[in-house]
Chains A and B, each alone.
Chain A
Amino acid sequence: MTAKLQVTDRVLLDFANEVGDSGPVAIQGNRTRWELGGPASAGTRLVSAPTGIVDYVPDEMTVTVRCGTTVAELHHALAEKGQRTGLPERGGTVGGALAAGENSLHMLGRGRVREAALQLRYVSDDGKVVTGGGPTVKNVTGFDLPRLMVGSLGTLGLLCEAILRTNPIPACTRWLRSETIDPFAVHGTVLRPSALLWDGSSTWIELEDHPAAVDAEQARLAAIADVEQVDGPPVFPEHRWSVPPATLRSTEQFGDGPWIASIGVGTAWASNAQPVTPVDRGVAARAARVKEHVDHRGRLNPGRTPGVR
């Protein structure tokens, strides 16, 4: 009997052979987040995931893509059928976006990266292609390895193929800015903004829906403050922060210098780096145990530690 998820794609099997079963190995995409979690150890052999869109079924709202494909290329193909994914588009690859696990600026409207991955294939420490999850949007078949892989920086397996959930692109996208609005009030006024940004004085609001609904939301905002239409979001400071959304009211935490906070999400970008908060000891111990069980020789992406900024 052949298992339904047995890998037959020669491209993936060749990649597994390239990874092999011995010696330290790290995976590189477009190096847009290369320093995340610490750089790969010196002397580590580098490999790159295969590329290409394998299967796209717009009616199922799923796409099968090899992880070396850029998010931009994927989104370009999906846009032809009026769809997109929740992955952030900033020059990197699908595998890089999944391994980093950082959410899109538009997370409120498009969902978290960890929810976009339905099925993931990765090469394990012993050079095998392993499949976790399944091809359908709804699935509770066994342990949820895809959730574990997202944000793991390739330390548990080298991502090579993903089945991602796609979403329709709304008919209208509009960015608004206000100098007078309380951003926290916006979160209660607008039902589902796709993004809501605040720099301490200006608020940027991204609305996505049918044009009539976007008009209505804009009118609701105009009733409580002055709003103007703008081309898009502001330019972001360098350092990414991650905090509970309620704490964004305490803007002094960002220190001197510019910052932009994603209200309702808890992501922020500031000119100062976020102070390092050690991961809870019990959680770190469990994460170390997972790593030990999945890659006991520590050959996958040595030098990187998920959670270290």
Chain B
Amino acid sequence: MAGFINSVKRKLNLAPGASSGDGDPVVTELREALSPDRVRYDGAERSLLSRDASVFDGGVAGPVCFPITTAEVQAIMKIALKHQRNIVPRGAGTGLAGGAIPLGAPIVVAVTKMTEIIEVDLDNRIAWVEPGVVNLDLTRHLHRSGFHFAPDPSSQQVCTIGGNVANNSGGPHCLAYGVTNAHVQALEVVLPSGEVVMLGGLEAEPAGLDLRGAFVGSEGTLGITTRIAVTITPDPPAVKTLLLSFETVRDAANTVSQIIAAGIVPAALEVMDQRITVAVENYVNAGYPRDAGAVLLAEVDGLAESIEIDAEKIAQIGHANSAIDVRTAADEAERAALWKGRKTAFGAVAQIAPDYYLHDTVVPRSQLADVLEKIYAIADRHDLLVMNVFHAGDGNLHPLLVFDGREEGILDRVHAAGAEIVRVSLDAGGVLSGEHGIGVEKQAYMDEVFTADDLAHQNRLRQAFDPGCRTNPGKVIPSGHSCADIQALRQVPTGVWA
């Protein structure tokens, strides 16, 4: 993937200031529809938005649009339709599967200026937000109202709710509260045809097919959302956060499995191995033990009378699995420190190596320990350093391959190890992705999971929304099954954007 994208970039001579776009009728029409300053065509902007947070080395962006209203998004869609140009929607670009990488020099629609929290409706327990609202900003806005927005991906300080909708994002607390789909009640969407429709609704059971549910997690391939009604969740009256330390990752994983088996559904169950724990301690001094083989961060929330019982049971299960130590956060400051450590884990690896590749697979909880041992062995075999920090309660693994991209040939080893990690997860009865999505990263594996008939049905849904396959083309469904010929996207049509 990186190879062909680089070759296209070289072909385009994509240097800052390469072109203003003047004279291109599409750029002209876009500037008339928005405003000249919100349709960028300079090399710097195009280069910046040619990649996301994944290791995939950028795509090729066409004009970059920053709409501020639904009408402007609609105008962009209509211009794209008129000129048969592709569209790639984009939030903050924190995706890790290459889902926002523009292939084939499309019009890039960045919703990052649509940041209004339009209304908080406590009677319906929803908030209407624009797609560029940063995830954590909504919870901050709700502070003191007694409510919060439950999906909390690690990137929540920067990722947008529009991006969360596209990827059906999760986070540590979706163990008890569910992923983004469970928190989206209605979506205003601009379709590739330029029509604006409201999918879902605030009713208990909105009438008709659940197109809302089909849109969430579709990775920007079915249209662009411009307003979202998200559920707001009451703050729990009491929370207990426990830090359990173990000699081995296996003990921590077994504890997780047994907690669930005991009928407890904690708010979060997160495991970190020793390598990442030490990195985090060096980075933010969160209070994790440096000598433990693994730590389990377990959080229970709810009524005080209830969480006392669950916390005690969790501690018992931990001790039965040879926990070295079980500690309960004494106050909000200690709890915040423990979570800060978990949520900054990926930042902490920068002190070890300049690059990392974060994988995302899900395995049955009972398979966690075995799959983790295989992952360590895979990394050893490829002479790579792997760290594990993951949503254990969901069986959602996040192996982190840490490396220095300047080392000759290392990216090939990283990709080879990654492929093996995906396969051991699938062999254990798991799935390709828990929360990062397929993007371009995992397309090639879709054939290993789904049959041709399964993929044909996914593609039928895609075509019902976007018959021309112009919205985020070349993503999710692999070539050969997709309505868009991904191979064709490797060529930028002559005279377009160059």
Given A210-B309, A213-B306: A131 and B208 interface contact (C-beta under 8 Å): no
Instruction: Chain B residues near A101: list those with CB within 8 A.
Output: 205, 210
Complex interface: chain A residues within 8 A of B123 (CB) = 245-246, 249
Closest B residue to A211 using CB positions = B305
Say which one of B340-348, B409-417, B435-443 lies at the interface with A: B435-443
B170 within 8 A of A: yes
Q: How far is the CA of A170 from the CA of B460 in the complex (A)?
A: 41
B125 touches A245 (CB 8 A): yes
Main secondary structure, interface of A, reads loop
Which residues does chain B contribute within 8 Å of A114, judged by CB atoms? 210, 213
A10 to B417, CA, bound (A): 36
Interface status of A60 (Cβ within 8 A of chain B): yes
Given contacts A1-B448, A5-B450, A243-B203, contact A138 B391 (CB under 8 A): yes
Separation in Å of the B285 CB from the closest CB of chain A? Answer: 31
Write out the residue numbers on chain B whose beta carbons fall within 8 Å of the beta carbon of A169: 263
**Contact between A136 and B305 (Cβ–Cβ < 8 Å)?**
no
- Residues of B contacting A6 in the complex (Cβ-Cβ under 8 angstroms): 451
Interface string of B440-467 (1 = CB under 8 A from A): 0010001111110111011011111100
Question: Which of A42-50, A69-77, A281-289 touches B?
Answer: A281-289
Which of B207, B209, B432, B442 has the largest count of A CB atoms less than 10 A from its CB?
B209
Among B391, B431, B447, the residue within 8 A (CB) of A139 is B431
Task: Let me know if A235 is at the binding interface, CB within 8 A.
Answer: no
Interface size class of B (residues with CB under 8 A): 35 or more
Which listed residue, B197, B364, B366, B447, touches A1 by the CB 8 Å rule? B447
Q: Are B451 and A5 in contact (CB under 8 A)?
A: yes
Nearest CB of A to B52, in Å: 16
User: Are B237 and A191 within 8 A (Cβ)?
Assistant: yes
- Judged by a CB distance under 8 angstroms, whether B488 is at the interface is no
Q: Beyond A141-B433, A213-B305, is A136–B178 a contact (Cβ under 8 Å)?
A: no
Binary contact track B300-343/A, C-beta < 8 Å → 1, others 0: 00111110010000000000000000000000000000000000
| 8 Å CB contact of A141 from B191, B302, B438 | B438
- Tell which of A134, A140, A156, A292 touches B436, judged by Cβ atoms closer than 8 Å: A140
The residues of A that contact B365 with a CB separation of less than 8 Å are: 59-60
| B449 proximity list for chain A (CB < 8 A) | 3-5, 134, 141-142
A273 touches B (CB below 8 Å): no
Q: Which of B196-213 contact A (CB under 8 A)?
A: 196-199, 201-213
Q: Which residues of B contact A136 (CB under 8 A)?
A: 362-364, 394-395, 430-431, 434
Residues on A with beta carbons closer than 8 Å to the beta carbon of B237: 191
Q: Which of A19-27, A175-183, A263-271 lies at the interface?
A: A263-271
Chain B neighbourhood of A209, CB < 8 A: 302-303, 305-306
CB-CB under 8 A from A139, the residues of chain B are 362, 431, 433-434
9-residue interface stretch from B42-50, B214-222, B286-294, B373-381: B214-222
Are A280 and B197 in contact (CB-based, < 8 A)?
Answer: yes
Interface assignment of A222: CB less than 8 Å from any CB of chain B: no
Cβ of B241 within 8 Å of any chain A Cβ, yes or no, is no
Mask: chain A, 100-129; 1 = CB below 8 Å from B; 0 = not: 011100010001101100000000100011
Task: State whether the Cβ of A53 lies closer than 8 Å to any Cβ in chain B.
Answer: no
Indicate if B493 sits at the interface (CB-CB under 8 A): no
| Partner-binding segment picked from A146-154, A194-202, A226-234, A251-259 | A146-154
CB pair A217 B451 closer than 8 Å: no
Supposing A124-B453, A140-B436, A243-B203 touch, asked if A60 and B168 sit within 8 A by C-beta, the answer is no
Q: Which of B179, B395, B447, B462 contacts A143 (CB 8 A)?
A: B462
Beta-carbon contact of B305 and A242 below 8 Å: no
Contact of A144 among B174, B181, B364, B435 (CB under 8 A): B181
Contacts of B160 in A (CB 8 A): none
CB <8 Å contact, A280 and B198: yes
Report, as a range, how many residues of chain A touch the other chain. Answer: 35 or more
Over the window 50-72 of chain A, the binary record of Cβ atoms lying under 8 Å from chain B Cβ atoms (1 yes, 0 no) is 00000001111100000000000
Q: Give the shortest distance, in Å, between B9 (CB) and chain A (any CB).
A: 29
A290 within 8 A of B: yes
Query: Please, how many angstroms separate the alpha-carbon atoms of A80 and B123 in the complex?
Result: 38
C-alpha gap A156/B214 in the complex (Å): 13
* Interface residue B234 (Cβ < 8 Å from any Cβ of A): yes
Contact A283 B199 (CB under 8 A): yes
Question: Cα distance A292–B261 when bound, in Å?
Answer: 44
Q: Is B494 an interface residue (CB 8 A)?
A: no
Given contacts A168-B265, A290-B464, contact A147 B206 (CB under 8 A): no
Take A245-B124, A306-B209 as given contacts and tell me if A115 and B454 are in contact as well, using a CB distance cutoff of 8 Å. no
B138 smallest CB distance to A (angstroms): 20
> Is the CB of B121 closer than 8 A to any CB of chain A?
yes
A82 / chain B contacts, CB cutoff of 8 Å: 263
Report whether B218 and A143 are in contact in the complex, using a CB–CB cutoff of 8 Å: yes
Bound state CA distance, A128 and B366, in angstroms? 32
What's the count of A-B pairs with C-beta under 8 Å?
262
Known contacts A124-B453, A191-B234, A293-B463; A148 and B210 CB within 8 A of each other = yes
Residue of B nearest to A283 (CB): B197
User: B168 to chain A: which residues have CB within 8 Å?
Assistant: 140, 144
Whether B372 is near chain A, meaning CB under 8 Å from some CB there, is no
Assuming A209-B306, A244-B202, A245-B204, is B446 touching A142 (CB within 8 A)? yes
**B216's closest neighbor in chain A, by CB?**
A144
Distance, CA A147 to CA B202, complexed state (A): 17
Give the chain B neighbours of A191 by CB distance below 8 A. 234, 236-237, 302-303
Contact of A262 among B204, B217, B454 (CB under 8 A): B204
A7 to B451, CA, bound (A): 9
Residue of B nearest to A167 (CB): B265
Question: How long is the Cα–Cα vector from A60 to B302 in the complex, in angstroms?
Answer: 22
Residues of A near B391 (CB, < 8 A) are: 138
A137 at the interface (CB under 8 A from B): yes
Question: Is B225's beta carbon under 8 Å from chain A?
Answer: no
The residues of A that contact B364 with a CB separation of less than 8 Å are: 57, 60, 135-136
The residue of chain B having its C-beta at the shortest distance from the C-beta of A6 within the complex is B451
Q: Does B167 contact A (CB under 8 A)?
A: yes
How far, in angstroms, from A269 to B17 measured CA to CA in the complex? 64
B271 smallest CB distance to A (angstroms): 15
B97: nearest residue on chain A (CB-CB)?
Answer: A140
Cβ contacts under 8 Å, B204 to chain A? 103, 107, 242-243, 245, 262, 265-267
Interface residues of chain B, those whose CB is within 8 Å of chain A, are 121, 123-125, 167-168, 170, 174, 178-179, 181-182, 191, 195-199, 201-214, 216-218, 234, 236-237, 257, 260-261, 263-265, 302-306, 309, 362-366, 391, 394-396, 426, 429-438, 442, 446-451, 453-455, 457-458, 460-465, 476-477
The 4 closest A-B pairs by CB, nearest first: A147-B213, A307-B207, A266-B204, A246-B123
In the assembled complex, 30 residue pairs joining A and B whose CB atoms fall closer than 8 Å, in A order, are A3-B448, A5-B450, A59-B261, A60-B365, A129-B453, A132-B454, A136-B434, A138-B391, A139-B362, A140-B167, A140-B436, A141-B446, A142-B438, A142-B455, A142-B477, A144-B213, A145-B458, A191-B303, A209-B306, A243-B204, A244-B124, A245-B204, A246-B123, A262-B204, A267-B204, A279-B208, A286-B464, A289-B464, A306-B207, A307-B209
